[in-house]
Amino acid sequence: MTNKRTVVIALGGNAILTDDPSARGQQQALRQTAKHLVALIKQEIQVVITHGNGPQVGNLLLQQQAANSPKNPAMPLDTCVAMTQGSIGYWLQNALEEELAAEGLPTKVATLVTQVVVSEKDPAFADPTKPVGPFLTEEQAQQMMTETNAIFKEDAGRGWRKVVASPKPIAIHDQASIRALVDNDFIVICAGGGGIPVTESGRGVEAVIDKDFASEKLAEVLEAEELIILTGVSKIALNYGKDNEQWLDQVNLTELEQYIQEGHFAPGSMLPKVQAAMDFVQVSKNNVAIITSLEDLADFDHETGTRIISD
pLDDT in tens, 32-55: 999 999 999 998 899 999 999 888
Alpha-carbon distance values, 309 to 99, 164, 211, 249, 288 (Å)? 33, 33, 21, 11, 5
Query: Which residues are identified as catalytic?
Result: 13-14, 130, 211, 273
Helix H or strand E encompassing 38:
helix 23-41
AA letter at 217: K
In the chain, domain spans? 6-118+177-309
What average pLDDT does the segment 174-199 reach? 96
Q: Is the pLDDT of residue 161 over 90?
A: no
Q: Are 217 and 227 in contact (CB under 8 A)?
A: no
- Beta strands 115-118 and 169-172 are antiparallel
**What phi, psi does 302 have (nearest 5°)?**
-120, 55
Tell which residue, 52, 43, 54, has the closest CA to residue 4: 43
What average pLDDT does the segment 18-41 reach? 91
As a whole number of angstroms, the distance between CA 240 and CA 236 comes to: 8
Q: Is the pLDDT of residue 300 over 70?
A: no
Indicate the pLDDT class of residue 189, thresholds 50, 70 and 90: very high
Indicate the pLDDT class of residue 302, thresholds 50, 70 and 90: low
What's this model's pTM, rounded to 2 decimal places? 0.91
Q: Is the pLDDT of residue 303 over 80?
A: no
Q: Is the pLDDT of residue 183 over 70?
A: yes
Indicate the pLDDT class of residue 1, thresholds 50, 70 and 90: low
Q: Is the pLDDT of residue 241 over 90?
A: no
CATH architecture of 6-118+177-309: 3-Layer(aba) Sandwich (3.40)
